[in-house]
Structure 1
Amino acid sequence: MSGSIAQGTSQTHGNTHILHFVVRLPRRMEEVWAALATPEGLASWFTAADVLEPRLGGAVTLRDLGEGQVTAWDVDRVAEYTVGAGGRLRFHLERDGEDGSVLRFTHEFQGEEESEQRWRGRFQRLIEALEPGRG
């Protein structure tokens, strides 16, 4: 099984932008979780997490995005971070067969710093990091 990135969607409401992606990953949810919910995992494909308290209400600092807090936390399923200028990032994992998972991702933010193309590149790095035989 290999990973794939479904077409992302983008919405704008006033000056708030919302990006949605569905990403099929070649590993089970339990194996993907660390890539989304630990400093080491996030640094491997996205950005350094200088602070990450793994619990609802915990502190989080994502380099280049800012400080904030964990606004949703359901181990092995949902990690959501709301940080300064970076906005709200929600990672929601679901099972996909025996050996895969699906990531439903939402990024709600203001400004123009982020794009569908940048997230597509990040998710490609995530898929590569999770390919069987790596990591």
Structure 2
Amino acid sequence: MTGSVEQGTSQTHGDIRILHFLVRLPRPMEAVWPALATGEGLAAWFTAADVLEPRLGGEVALRGLGSGRITAWDVDRVAEYTVEDGGRIRFHLERDGDQGTALRFTHEFRGETESEQRWRDRFERLIAVLEGGS
């Protein structure tokens, strides 16, 4: 199985933008989770996590996005980070066949700080990391 960024949608509600993606990843959930829920994992494809307390209510500081709290945390399934400048970033994992994972991603934020293409590029890096590339 190879990874793919299958869907990307953008909605605007007033001054709030919401991006949604469905990303199919070539590894089981247990292998994907560290890429979304650890500082080292996030740094490999997204951004450095200067602080990440892996628990509901834990502190998080994502470089370039700000600091805040972990607002949802279900080990191996859901990690949601709500940060002052970056809005709410949610990673929701589901099994996809025997060896794959479907990542349902939501980013809710104000302003024009993010774009579908920027996230698409990040997810391509995530796929490369999970497939063993760099």
1:80 alignment partner, SS class: strand
Runs of 4+ in 1 over 2 A off after TM superposition: none
Q: Does 1:64 align with 2:61?
A: no
Partner of 2:33: 33
Gaps in structure 2 of 5+ consecutive residues:
none
Structure 1 unpaired stretches of 5+: none
1:6 positional shift: 1.1
1:49 aligns to 2:10 (yes or no): no
Taking structure 2 as the reference length, the TM-score comes to: 0.98
Match of 1:100 in 2: 100
Aligned counterpart, 1:91: 91
Q: SS state of the match for residue 113, structure 2?
A: coil
Shift of 1:46: 0.1
The secondary structure found in structure 2 opposite 1:98 is coil
Answer yes or no: is 1:75 the counterpart of 2:87: no
Partner residue in 2 for 1:17: 17
Instruction: Give the corresponding residue for 2:112.
Output: 112
CA distance in 2, matches of 1:5, 1:97: 17
Aligned length: 134
Match of 1:3 in 2: 3
How far residue 7 of structure 1 moved from its aligned partner, in angstroms, is 2.2
Task: Give distance in 1, aligned partners of 2:85 and 2:133.
Answer: 33
**In structure 1, how many angstroms separate the alpha carbons of the residues matched to 2:55 and 2:7?**
31
Cα deviation digits, residues 89-119 of structure 1 (max 9, x gap): 0000000011100000000000101000000
- 1:134 deviation in Å? 4.9
Provide the alpha-carbon RMSD of the alignment. Answer: 1.0
1:7 partner SS: strand
Q: Which amino acid aligns with 2:7?
A: Q
Q: What is the TM-score with the length of structure 1 in the denominator?
A: 0.97
